[in-house]
Structure 1
Amino acid sequence: MLTILFVCLSGSAISQDTTRVLIVYYSVDGHTRSMGEAVARGARGVSGTQVKLASISEATQADVLWADGIVVGSPVYNAAVAPEVQKFINSWPFEGDPLHNKVGAAFATGGGISAGEEVVQLNILHSMLIFGMVVVGGAEWSSSFGASAVTGEGPFLSKGGMVDSLFLRKGELLGKRIAELARKLKSNRGK
């Protein structure tokens, strides 16, 4: 009986120490999914982080409530967030401020240079601010609004859903940053 109690209590302590990061994306051609996978790799590299990577169609409101950090990714649709992404964000719970002080970030993919990636990132971040989330950009000045990828122009013209390694690295750094900051905020709430 004592052993069972100890196992239950220690399991509870482990889950308290775990930082949970949700990475949600909408992807038609695989580019945004590839960026989401890069963000997930970066977050998983932070000790004590549990990551859930899901497409918009798989993600639930329970996932949003579960997470300490939420990263949302969208392709550029006419210089705007994909409608599916906005619909998902619009479904988040608002009453009672359940997302208050969760860490949020954004990533985007677009076909061309200056095709709207930063506009999409800012739209996602603006939505997160409405929910009282703490929003962060990327780890470097060159990714101030999160991580983004150009996939259809010049040297970044992708083939078969492959995203240039430069952009994937920015995604990994964003994942690492959100996991680290979510961990710090979560540990400070306990004080």
Structure 2
Amino acid sequence: MSVKVHVVFYSMYGHIYRMAEAVAEGARSVAGADVKLWQVPELVPDEVLEKSGAKAARAAFAQVPVIAPDRLPEADVILFGAPTRFGNMCAQMRNFLDQTGGLWAKGALIGKVGSVFTSTATQHGGQESTLLSFHTTLLHQGMVVVGLPYSEARQMTLTEITGGSPYGATTITGGDGSRMPSDNELAMARFQGRHATQIAAKLSAA
């Protein structure tokens, strides 16, 4: 049985893109999974992206297609990735989700599996508040929310600085953004992609 998976992300400097790739890799490990990687539209003007260095960083994933809200119902499971902005999701992802009112009115996402991953600049920079506040939107859409269970024991790692929580995979970028996702964080992202896809497969077969 085929399970359609959308990994929908926003990334400014590439951290969430790397996490999204790992999530997609985990999803693809499930037999019958049809996985597509998407990004949401950018809102920041080109000249601002240029000055901040984000434009050059975003060139690494410029080939990833931009998704429109009406593509979401095609999927059985949607894994959303977005960086944190002051303890909440970034404006680009919020703007995208705010355009799904028509889907909500039709109940188009009811019963779909939804899962979320994120990044912050600092170790305690609002990762869990971002994930939990994101879950609220998914619940309003009637989605089945899936996190990162403690069977993924890497989130309990104490031998290194690492992201990860029962609400979803996370990464820490460092104050200057120079830290890319660690092997431990990428492994958790792969686990989450596989786990959410397996649950969607079970629901589809029910």
TM-score range, shorter chain: 0.7 to 0.9
Moved more, 22-31 or 90-99: 90-99
* Matching residue of 2:77: 69
Q: Could you report, residue by residue, the CA deviation over 1:100-153 in whole angstroms, capped at 9, with x for unpaired residues? A: 110000000111111011111111111000011000101426331011111206
In structure 2, what residue type is equivalent to 1:132? G
CA distance in 1, matches of 2:17, 2:150: 22
Give the match for residue 92 of structure 2: 84
Shift of 1:79: 1.2
Larger radius of gyration: 1
Matches within 5 A, 1:37-186: 37-57=21-41, 58-92=66-100, 93-140=103-150, 142=155, 143-152=165-174, 159=178, 162-186=180-204
Runs of 4 or more consecutive aligned structure 1 residues displaced over 4 Å after TM superposition: none
String of CA shifts for 1:17-69, please: whole Å, max 9, x gaps: 21001111111110011111110000001010001111112012232010000
Q: Deviations over 1:141-173 (max 9, x none)?
A: 6331011111206xxx864x6311111111000
Cα drift, residue 94 of structure 1: 1.0
Aligned positions, number:
168
Name the residue aligned to 1:8. none
Question: Is contact 2:5–2:27 with CA below 8 Å preserved after alignment?
Answer: yes
Distance (Å, rounded) in 2 between the aligned partners of 1:56 and 1:148: 19
**Offset, 1:98:** 0.9
Hey, what's the Cα distance between the residues in 1 that align with 2:68 and 2:76? 15
- What amino acid is the match of 1:147? A
TM-score calculated relative to the size of structure 2: 0.78
The answer as to whether partners of 1:72 and 1:124 remain within 8 angstroms in 2 is no
- Indicate the RMSD between aligned Cα atoms, in angstroms: 1.5
Displacement of 1:81 in angstroms is 0.6
Structure 2, unpaired ranges of 5+: 42-65, 156-164
